[in-house]
Structure 1
Amino acid sequence: MTKTKFFLFITFIFISSNVFSQVSISGQVVNQNNKPVEFMEVYLQNIDSTITDSGLTTADGKFTILAEKGEYLLLVEQVGAILYKQKIDTKQDLNLGVIQVTEKQEQLNEVVVTSKKKLIERKVDRLVFNVENSIGASGGDAIDALKITPGIRVQNNAISMIGKSGMVVMIDDRLIQLSGDDLMSFLRTLSSENIKSIEVITTPPSKYSAEGNSGLVNIKLKKAKKDSWNASVNTAYRQATYLAGNSGGNFNYQKDKISIFSSTNIAKGTSSPIETSKMYYPNQLWANNSVRKDFTNLMGGRIGIDYQITNKLVMGIQYLGGNSKPNIEEKNLTTIYNNTNSINSFIRTNADNIRKNSSQSFNYHTIYNVDTLGTKIFTDIDYFKYNKNENRTFDSNSENVNGSTIPNSHISATNGSKTDFSNFSGKIDVEMPLKWASISYGGKMSFNNNNSSVSYYNMTNGSPIYDPNQSNQFSYKENLNALYFSGTKKIGKLWETQLGLRMETTNTVGVSKTLNEKNTNNYVKFFPTLYLIYNHSDNNSFSLNYSKRINRPSFNSLNPFRWYDNPYSYSEGNPFLQPSYSHNIELSFTHNQNLENKIYYSKTENGFSQLTTLDENTNIQATKYINFFDTEIIGISESYIYDKIKWWESVNSLDLSYNKSSSKILITNQNREGFNYYFSTNNTFNLNRKKTIVLNLNFWISPSGVDGLDKITESNQLDVAMKFFFFNKNLQLSVVGNDIFSSNRFTYISYTNNIKQEYKNYYDIRSFRLSLSYKFGSTKINVKKRNFGNEEEKRRTN
């Protein structure tokens, strides 16, 4: 789709919304003291005494109602009492001017309703985990909150959805265009104290980008309050193998028509992951042990302003930026065994990774309320800039059994990598409640430009020698365009359905200047969604959902350059990599919002991943991205929340699935199938009547199973936390112990060329965390807050 066609589409959206608006009736309601009155109900009654249209007055007493042309009786009502009547004839737009009423004497100046949200809430298309009510997430960051979110697993520095083959992350309904280490670094800049809830969306509606093989996780940030200011500060200390800490705060201000919101987070420290692997060659066993020191050094911030230009139009700008230096020190020892299980030799490699990442996001957005019936137009214009610089120096020697260096085995080299990514996007969404249905539609254009370069210098002789054969410059341009439509309609009193369709066009050009290769890709795809709900009663409902999704390769995975870890191990991208597609179906039954039974099925076609091949003659371990498998998953999921006792709340989940994967290439196992199990229980105990001392126990276990074409062994984790509240609960002290028994350890077992491979990693999870947070200021009414519209492009910059 060209830019011209897209902007014509935007023009059509604005025109079509005006067609539906018809005749406008407006005015202002004031009381006996000539002061505007808010929340007065104004409605129209036709000649049959039927209410046709209605609305509420705003803070300045004004109202606007859209209606068909005709004769009506306009009524102004307050708390069930009619304060004003007037006959009107709506042949054209009508402004009634100032309407003075006498307020009821028993009017309440302010009603404050205080209620505690449930820890878990079930909605039609998502599960909502209220982080602000969770003790386990306090004093941490977004990663800590995701670790205890039902249906989500955080392992091996990656986030996954239980029973799904892939997913992406959003913040305030905007996709994050980062993955891998970059995504984890970004999420660590968000304090858990600034997170309101996390939504787990297993079958996303057509409004959202089709990116993400199976589902979405939406992190909703806390909002400010109306006509007030509030702020909070927090700090945390974490002790694992090494110590780490983070501090941050947020400030929000809202007065009249202006809202200002900001937050910041600083983290610094060290962790010590251990990665081990075994390669079972026919005549040798290569056992690798890598001990790392991963350094956290990051700072992130967010600031934005929203301004209400008119009663209908709100405009805002926002900036989000962050810098990090996630350096890594590695000490790698590979022990080579003979068939007799005796040691043949060693390969000792030391490496330093000096890394620097920075990201900047700018957003301009508007919200236009077309009418009082709820028609709204949302627009977003976004610019995103991401830079990544990495320099890896490794020094390797082969040693004999007695530890002396084998002659001519010394190899030293420096790999340097630079990535410069930018994205510009524009999107528009329209929400339009009609009499026969509620519809939404919109479109998006996105332009990505990614340039990366890798340089290789041989340092074996002590001075750097540039190697052009192992250096590369790679550029990648991508244009994504999307249109979508969705409609929701109630059928009778018991049924409700939602249908949606999203069309996305993709045009890509990848150029390797060093290899003199150019690859283009152009395709148009349609992504339907379906939701069907049957509400048998207030306490029992059934739902059937279907969605089709796409998973596009990250930009880095398309770069054909080889990245060497040591003389016998390298990884490379694949410019010919294609996206994968998935189909997802769910049938669920919900009872009393605390019991959910779900049957699900998903199928992934043309799946891609990194595949390591082993050469028994050269012992070279080559890792490359490739499309090589299809996967089917069918499962049963059970969730139950026990809250019958005031001082105890228990959230429990059980998942059983049967996975079947088939490979398209001969060097791997052609098929792998088996059962997977997962059970988790999260228990919160109030230890005193004032609920100022709280205990939390969280445990999960995953027995042995399969993951794609790999086998995976059992793992489990127990977390214990306590929270203490002081000064009217404004001051919180949290003490958290993660992975108490250091049992979150599992092994992946895979085969290529009939050679067995085992990978067992532990990411220094067992830790103790002590955190403090303090809230102050006024806390009354909500303020608007928003994220960026080009988040899909950000996620893929790794």
Structure 2
Amino acid sequence: MKKTLSLIIAILVFSSIATAQRYTIKGKILDAISKEKLPYSSISLHYKTDTLGIYKGIIADTNGDFEIKNVRKRDMILKVSFVGYKPFRKEIGLGEFAKEKILDLGNLFMELSGELAAVEITAKIERIIVDDDKLTMNVDEQLAATVTSAFDLLKRVPGVFIDKDDNLTLNGKSGVLFQYNGRDLRMQYKSVVDLLKSMTPDQVESFEVLSNPGVRYDAEGTAGIINIKIKKNQNYGINGSVWGRASYQTMLNYYGSMSLSYVDDKWTTSLGFSPMKWGSKGTSKSERYTAKGVGDTVLFKTESEDEWQWLNNNIYLNASYLIDTTRTIGFNLYGSFGGNPEIYNENPYLISSYPNYNIVDSSYLSGRSSITKRRSLGFGIDYVKKLDTLDSKFMLDLSYSHNSDISNSESWNKYFIGDLNTILDREEGFRRKDLSPDNDLSFRADYYKPFTKTMKLETGLKTYISFSDNDYRSEQLDPLTGNYVNVPMETNRFKYFENINSLYASFSNTFKKKLNVRLGIRLEQTNTKGHQYVLDSIDKRSYFDIFPNLRLNYKFKDDNQLTLSYSYRISRPWSGSLNPFMQKSSEYSYSTGNPYLNPQYSNSISLSHSWKYMLFTNVSYSHTKDDINWIRTPLDTNLGYNPLALMSSSVNFGSSHNLNFNISFNKEFFKWWSFRASTGANYSQILSSPNELDINRESWSYNASLSSDFTLPKKWRLGFYYYFRSSSMYGLSTSSSYQDLSINISKSFFEEKLGLTLSIDDFVNINKMYRETVYRNTITKNWSSYQGPQVALSLRYRFGKYYKNKQVSKPSVESFDDRVGGGSPEGGR
């Protein structure tokens, strides 16, 4: 009896120990033909004796990897599903569980079904994701339905602030560089704004924000990079969309977009066209106080109503060809053609002295009419080769862009002794033509080599060449004959050449599946030459820089990560700020470039944390030396200038410090309600260099935003957005607080093919701004505002014909970079 009892106890103890053992099952989901990853695949684990019930379930990550933890040692069945693919099933027997308690199933290959009709993909993606170098805001259908353009979407990105004049800062810093599907947008910022305003929200797949880019990106830009990723059709067949938007605030505006895509076994192509017409009117007021001595201060005062108009047409063509399962070649072309019709604006200036500012000593009337044409063209070709089963890749990329501005203007100044109703003292007129073509060419090669699943090397080279030619012609009105005559000293031509050659290398390794360390270094050699023809002055420069980069990422879990990063970056002066030619607006106002302007350098460190894909915290600090600022200084009266004349020019003012804290919360509480809140604080300090006056300016600013989207019955959607920013400092200027409130409502028809959106911005007419600039003996105050709320109505229609409904998976520029983590390999210049 005792022996029997002992045997029963031993069996029970052994059984309990065996039952207590837990295992981890891991693997990777891939396409059976292309061997590409299948992200967000659904994986479920079932007891063999109960295949209907689910023992455990999980979703694969962006690389198709999965891990199922705390699995009991039992006969199991693993099931995998992915839209457009045949269900995958694998039996796991007791004998497959090893002593190491980790069962690695390796690569699991899924086959395309090839039998389904059109499929509507409804898989949920996280709206905000922080991964490696970047923060990604994915644009889902609900978010796209609550705004009227891609530019409105950009305002929702955490850390991005856009004021009423469309000026943008990222984490409190200006100087953001833009990319389009990983390629540099070599166009002026206003053209980028026009492009985004003419794009539909559902054209955008995501915005990728890199506040501290890695070394595979150009070191240019102190604020970071924003990559605009456009959606690519993944279904075989032909589809497209048509979108239109009309808005009114002070003028009637319209935006349009048409896109068409085609996909088959070899080709993935897309073609788009987007026209727009934008216009606005606003009121402005300016006061400039200039101290000439103790008790002697002169006031320049003006009030005006201004008008702006812009017409633009954008076109793009993207195509990629699958040579075989390891090679892809791609081609892209874009064009932007715009300009403004003839616009006439006139500003009266009243001049008075302390203490009797109400008594006008003198005045002048300054008027200007102008016509501008702007053109941007670009094309690129890339080649990607997969080298082995470890996903080693080699990529070549060649791109070219051409940008040109042609401006024709007439300006005049009428000077009065006393106010504008007194006798005319003198007048002057100018007729000017400004031609500014720019050509950019870049070539790069990148190599990516994973030695193991955790140890990776990336290296590459790039050369960039830019030619710009500014031809400025000026004629002055002869008051006796009424004809315009050439003024040699008012005519200028400035050619600028820039060449940047770079090499980079980056090594990363993951330790104990938790800590990822990446070390990188980038070498850039810069050659420039500026030639001012009127003065026949030539300025040549050549300098070499080393840019280190470090990133530490610790994963407590996949949805709980902490990242510390450091980067050293540069901002080179643009060609216009180096042109020494002095341009006259009136006898009181001049502007010129500075051929001795140096690049500014910035050290940045950032600590960020993401939790559950819904709470994101970021703390960053940057120090910039040789900070570039525009200033106004008096002109020498001994050279014949008016004693009240000021000249604007750019200088390396000194250094600046920037400390930023930002926290964002994103949560879909229910299927019908999603909520986002963000708040931040920013500290800025600017210190003058020894050759300037002793300036030590500092400022704290704060911002907060709230947005809430509701899905109502019968496919109605309602959205609210509010933004507030306190007064803030930018360079030598301080701006007033700013707030914006918008509301929108949308409705879908005919199985989501047709969409209608009505929105109201500046809902309570609070879109006003005040700015004050203080430097030496001059204080400038500016007020501006737009009148009334903006009402917009947009309409979108999707169409298409699908067949086989297979999803395409091809090696590409984007997939090359996704393996490395963070954006695209193309640089930030």
TM-score bracket, normalised by the shorter chain, equals 0.7 to 0.9
TM-score of the aligned structures, taking structure 1 as reference length? 0.83
Q: Give the aligned residue type for 1:637.
A: N
CA contact (8 A) 1:200 1:218 kept: yes
1:427 deviation in Å?
0.8
Q: Give the aligned residue type for 1:378.
A: M
Q: Are residues 1:342 and 2:358 paired?
A: yes
Q: Are residues 1:509 and 2:518 paired?
A: no
1:463-491 Cα shifts (integer Å, max 9, x gaps): 11111111111111111111111222110
Q: Give the aligned residue type for 1:122.
A: V
What residue is the counterpart of 1:696 in the other structure?
A: 719
Q: Which runs of 5+ in 1 are unaligned?
A: 1-50, 62-76, 83-102
Q: Are residues 1:448 and 2:469 paired?
A: no
Inter-partner Cα distance in structure 2 for 1:762 and 1:274: 6
Q: Are residues 1:543 and 2:553 paired?
A: no
Query: Counterpart of 2:680 in 1: which secondary structure?
Result: strand
Inter-partner Cα distance in structure 2 for 1:605 and 1:318: 38
1:782 deviation in Å?
5.2
CA contact (8 A) 1:157 1:180 kept: no
Distance change >3 Å, CA 420–CA 405, structure 1 → 2: farther
What residue is the counterpart of 2:338 in the other structure?
A: 324
> Which residue, 156, 174, 183 being the options, matches 2:183?
174
Inter-partner Cα distance in structure 2 for 1:153 and 1:128: 16
Inter-partner Cα distance in structure 2 for 1:190 and 1:52: 39
Inter-partner Cα distance in structure 1 for 2:112 and 2:731: 66
1:407-422 correspondence runs (5 A): 407-422=424-439
Q: Are residues 1:733 and 2:747 paired?
A: no
1:33-48 correspondence runs (5 A): none
What residue is the counterpart of 2:732 in the other structure?
A: 709
Inter-partner Cα distance in structure 1 for 2:738 and 2:202: 29
> Which residue, 199, 207, 215 being the options, matches 1:206?
215
What residue is the counterpart of 1:58 in the other structure?
A: 33
1:232-272 Cα shifts (integer Å, max 9, x gaps): 00000010101110111111101111122111100114212
Inter-partner Cα distance in structure 1 for 2:285 and 2:744: 30
TM-score of the aligned structures, taking structure 2 as reference length? 0.80
Distance change >3 Å, CA 674–CA 427, structure 1 → 2: same
CA contact (8 A) 1:511 1:518 kept: yes
1:431 deviation in Å?
2.1
Distance change >3 Å, CA 208–CA 186, structure 1 → 2: same
Q: Are residues 1:767 and 2:790 paired?
A: yes
Q: Give the aligned residue type for 1:268.
A: K
Inter-partner Cα distance in structure 1 for 2:274 and 2:237: 23
Inter-partner Cα distance in structure 1 for 2:150 and 2:112: 46
Distance change >3 Å, CA 709–CA 173, structure 1 → 2: same
Q: Are residues 1:682 and 2:682 paired?
A: no
Inter-partner Cα distance in structure 2 for 1:60 and 1:543: 30
Q: Are residues 1:524 and 2:541 paired?
A: no
- Of 218-227 and 641-650, the range deviating more from structure 2: 641-650
> Which residue, 428, 437, 442 being the options, matches 2:445?
428
1:47-104 Cα shifts (integer Å, max 9, x gaps): xxxx99998641699xxxxxxxxxxxxxxx974369xxxxxxxxxxxxxxxxxxxx99
Distance change >3 Å, CA 703–CA 193, structure 1 → 2: same
What residue is the counterpart of 2:254 in the other structure?
A: 245
Q: Are residues 1:651 and 2:682 paired?
A: no
Inter-partner Cα distance in structure 1 for 2:403 and 2:162: 24
- Of 204-213 and 345-354, the range deviating more from structure 2: 345-354
Q: Are residues 1:393 and 2:410 paired?
A: yes
- Of 153-162 and 372-381, the range deviating more from structure 2: 153-162
Distance change >3 Å, CA 669–CA 459, structure 1 → 2: farther
1:530 deviation in Å?
1.4
1:276-355 correspondence runs (5 A): 276-282=285-291, 283-327=297-341, 328-339=343-354, 340-344=356-360, 345-355=362-372
CA contact (8 A) 2:144 2:202 kept: no
CA contact (8 A) 1:551 1:580 kept: yes
What residue is the counterpart of 2:661 in the other structure?
A: 636
Q: Are residues 1:121 and 2:129 paired?
A: yes
Inter-partner Cα distance in structure 2 for 1:108 and 1:383: 39
What residue is the counterpart of 2:476 in the other structure?
A: 458
What residue is the counterpart of 1:620 in the other structure?
A: 645
Distance change >3 Å, CA 477–CA 358, structure 1 → 2: same
Distance change >3 Å, CA 719–CA 755, structure 1 → 2: same
CA contact (8 A) 1:411 1:567 kept: no
Distance change >3 Å, CA 284–CA 252, structure 1 → 2: same
Inter-partner Cα distance in structure 2 for 1:758 and 1:189: 34
Distance change >3 Å, CA 106–CA 321, structure 1 → 2: closer
**Higher Cα radius of gyration:** 2
> Which residue, 219, 225, 228 being the options, matches 1:219?
228
- Of 326-335 and 263-272, the range deviating more from structure 2: 326-335
Q: Give the aligned residue type for 2:298.
A: Q
1:404 deviation in Å?
3.0
Query: Counterpart of 2:557 in 1: which secondary structure?
Result: coil
What residue is the counterpart of 2:68 in the other structure?
A: none
CA contact (8 A) 2:145 2:717 kept: no
Inter-partner Cα distance in structure 1 for 2:569 and 2:462: 17
Distance change >3 Å, CA 208–CA 618, structure 1 → 2: same
Inter-partner Cα distance in structure 2 for 1:105 and 1:232: 30
- Of 196-205 and 747-756, the range deviating more from structure 2: 747-756
1:151-162 correspondence runs (5 A): 151-155=159-163, 156-162=165-171
CA contact (8 A) 1:386 1:420 kept: yes
Inter-partner Cα distance in structure 2 for 1:640 and 1:169: 25
CA contact (8 A) 1:669 1:709 kept: no
CA contact (8 A) 1:679 1:701 kept: yes
1:714-735 Cα shifts (integer Å, max 9, x gaps): 1111111111111111111111
> Which residue, 566, 573, 578 being the options, matches 2:586?
566
Query: Counterpart of 1:556 in 2: which secondary structure?
Result: helix
Inter-partner Cα distance in structure 1 for 2:442 and 2:170: 28
1:259-274 correspondence runs (5 A): 259-274=268-283
Distance change >3 Å, CA 745–CA 107, structure 1 → 2: closer
Q: Are residues 1:585 and 2:605 paired?
A: yes
1:62-101 correspondence runs (5 A): 79-80=89-90
Query: Counterpart of 2:309 in 1: which secondary structure?
Result: strand
Q: Give the aligned residue type for 1:211.
A: E
1:583 deviation in Å?
1.2
What residue is the counterpart of 1:34 in the other structure?
A: none
CA contact (8 A) 1:348 1:397 kept: yes
Inter-partner Cα distance in structure 2 for 1:678 and 1:769: 26
What residue is the counterpart of 2:139 in the other structure?
A: 131
1:470-516 Cα shifts (integer Å, max 9, x gaps): 11111111111111112221100221122221111110111001111
Distance change >3 Å, CA 333–CA 234, structure 1 → 2: same
- Of 576-585 and 533-542, the range deviating more from structure 2: 533-542
Inter-partner Cα distance in structure 2 for 1:669 and 1:750: 16
Inter-partner Cα distance in structure 1 for 2:506 and 2:785: 44
CA contact (8 A) 2:762 2:790 kept: yes
Q: Are residues 1:758 and 2:743 paired?
A: no
Query: Counterpart of 2:154 in 1: which secondary structure?
Result: helix
Query: Counterpart of 1:143 in 2: which secondary structure?
Result: helix
User: Would you say how many aligned residue pairs link Structure 1 and Structure 2?
Assistant: 707
CA contact (8 A) 1:137 1:144 kept: no
Query: Counterpart of 1:557 in 2: which secondary structure?
Result: helix
Distance change >3 Å, CA 676–CA 734, structure 1 → 2: same
